[in-house]
A and B are shown apart, each in its own frame.
Chain A
Amino acid sequence: MNFLRLFTLFLALSVVPAIFAKNVVLLNVSYDPTRELYAEYNATFARFWKAKTGDDVTVKQSHGGSGKQARGVIDGLPADVVTLALAADIDAIVAHSRLIAPDWQQRLPHNSSPYTSTIVFLVRKGNPRGIKDWGDLVRPGVSVITPNPKTSGGARWNFLAAWAYARRKSGNEEGARQFVAALFRNVPVLDSGARGSTTTFVQRGIGDVLLAWENEAFLALKEFGADKFEIVVPSLSILAEPPVTVVDKVAQKKGNAEVARAYLEYLYSDEGQDIAGRHFYRPTLPAAQARYTATFPRLDLVTIDREFGGWTKAQATFFADGGVFDQIYAH
């Protein structure tokens, strides 16, 4: 009898919290170099959400090449939010699946990019080749490591940054084309993703300079030691805006729309911005930017919209089949 009563009590106790507090599971589909960032951010957001609503939220992460991840979502990976490398990849989800509203980029501040990054050079300690700017990359004998722009989002930023520099320098498109062709003649290995290129440069010892995301370059310094590598900041680079958005149809179906939105909005909070800064992404809010001026050097940053007329256009001109990149390798 006593046992039965105890059992009933136990049953009642275990049901009660379940009625009042929900346990939410979110899936964030992201790209490769954000692993460390979101590992910390998810824990912080879970604490914030617990304090605000009393609900437990567990965020599951999926990482991979940005394009591959977008394809996963199109093919049915049930992502509540996507945090990818390029607006073009989210546009592709819109175009191929209609899971996301077409005006997604206006839903959050700064083109839905809570943090930004740029492309810098990672060179070996002491900079033995004396690499200071883009112009040094086309010198004969300099070996440059970058992933393949056809498969890697990061590599497209590399390509466009080089193009923007050369167009400023030469004043015309043809000059830019010749410069970028010369640059790619100095590339001995094309990995399919940014992490692969970092491995090739850092661990296999191939190449004199790695074109890398700023956050990847800092991470390489942190992981492998500042006594082996140093970062060179070119005179001009490109402003990379990795965007985030809610996958509307999926989040609604799972009943996660509200928490998914809050999850992304919290990236713009002081705490969210600090986490981004600590993981070497440039915060977008001025207050947070001011705290990280020592980390991130100022340089001339062009944007994809003003310089290339947006991603859709740049993608079609440069990286589509038969585009500028293919023409470089056609000979």
Chain B
Amino acid sequence: MSLFGKRRNVLPGFGLSLGFTLAYLGLIVLLPLSAAFLKTAGLSWTDFMAAVTAPRVLASFRVSFGVSLLAALVNAYFGGILAWVLVRYKFPGRRVIDALVDLPFALPTAVAGIALTAIYARNGWVGQWLDPLWLAFVQKLSVLAPWVDWKSWLGGTIAFDRPGIFLALTFVGLPFVVRTLQPVLAELEPELEEAAATLGANRWQTMTRVILPELMPALITGFALSFARALGEYGSVVFIAGNMPMHSEITPLLIITKLEQYDYRGATAIAVVMLVASFVLLLLINLLQKWSRRYYKV
């Protein structure tokens, strides 16, 4: 216990627990990932570049990253509202709704995909009403802004086109935002808002100056989790996407396609690109979160 000796933690066993953590992480996470990298290493640089920059692969990256981003943004917004309602208001059936939020976690994704397709297909419960509306909306846009090819961007139907992918990805990502926000919101005392009001802040100011800064780190985490989940999602999307090459084909499907052709290296090459891109994005989001914490909490 001398002042100049080794720094001691209050809890013993730091060495053991760190060793265990590293071994566990290595076994469960790093080992399979390094296998993917090793398999790709069998490709020469030119073959690797050819595999990952093929037009069809690039198109799938655009679809996967683009739609995942959109789905995560929408989840961050509506998930935020959902979490707010669940924490701040007491109403009958709140527990049931709270439990429902976890459903996308528990449901096998294939079941989710089949269910969504059945509902949103042109002959489904919702699809028979929504599908013509969507088509009309897209056509309207094409008239208003004819210089954009809206139909190829937004799809002419809901199921079996890009909107279907968006629905499936929103579905699987929702719980991440709600569950990360809920504990933070529960900690946030309503007195804080009252204090802001007594000091003369209007509702908008209370929202943007008092509440959002507190929520921002959790919101960003939820967004990142939801985004990452959407990027990797396969099971539910393939049923509803239509899977048209260059248009509504997600990257995970392309990886499976390569595997079906016994092209293990090509498959892992695409996987590695996706992995690195996701890692960089998650890292950026983490930095952003850190920054936002520092920025808002002066």
Contacts and interface: CB of A to CB of B under 8 A. Distances in A.
Interface of A: 65, 67-68, 71, 74, 92, 96, 148, 150-151, 188-192, 196, 200, 203-206, 319-322, 326, 329-330
A148 B243 contact: yes
Given A188-B242, A190-B244, A329-B56, A204 B117 contact: yes
Contact of A205 (B121, B242, B258, B261): B121
B238 A192 contact: yes
A150 B246 contact: no
Given A65-B260, A205-B122, 14 more contacts: A67-B260, A68-B260, A71-B262, A96-B262, A190-B244, A192-B238, A192-B243, A192-B253, A204-B121, A206-B122, A321-B261, A321-B266, A326-B245, A330-B246
Contact of A67 (B160, B244, B261): B261
Given A188-B242, A204-B118, A148 B262 contact: no
Tell me which of B256, B257, B258, B261 has the highest count of chain A C-beta atoms within 10 A of its own C-beta: B261
B238 A329 contact: no
Contacts of A205: 121-123
Contact of A190 (B56, B123, B245, B263): B245
Given A188-B242, A190-B243, A330-B55, A148 B257 contact: yes
Nearest to A205: B123
A189 B245 CA distance: 10
Given A321-B54, A321-B263, A189 B243 contact: yes
Contact of B160 (A92, A206, A329): A206
Contacts of B36: none
B218 interface: no
Contacts of A200: 160
> Which residue, A151, A196, A326, A330, has most C-beta atoms of chain B within 10 A?
A151
A314 B261 CA distance: 13
B121 A189 contact: no
Interface residues of B, number: 28
Contacts of A96: 262
Interface in B66-86: none
Given A204-B117, A329-B246, A150 B257 contact: yes
User: Interface centre among A188, A189, A205, by most B CB within 10 Å?
Assistant: A189
A203 B159 CA distance: 13
B259 A189 contact: no
A125 to B, nearest CB: 15
B119 to A, nearest CB: 11
Given A204-B123, A329-B56, A151 B245 contact: no
A266 B253 CA distance: 39
Nearest to A325: B245
Contacts of B266: 321
Given A188-B242, A321-B266, A326 B260 contact: no
Nearest to B160: A189
8 contacts: A150-B257, A192-B257, A206-B121, A326-B56, A326-B245, A329-B56, A329-B244, A329-B246
Contacts of A322: 54
A206 B242 CA distance: 11
Nearest to B258: A321
B159 A151 contact: no
Contacts of B244: 188-190, 329
A150 B261 contact: yes
A326 B54 CA distance: 11
Nearest to B263: A321
Contacts of A191: 238, 243
Interface string B120-143: 011110000000000000000000
Contacts of A74: 262
Contacts of A67: 260-261
A329 B117 CA distance: 25
B259 A71 contact: yes
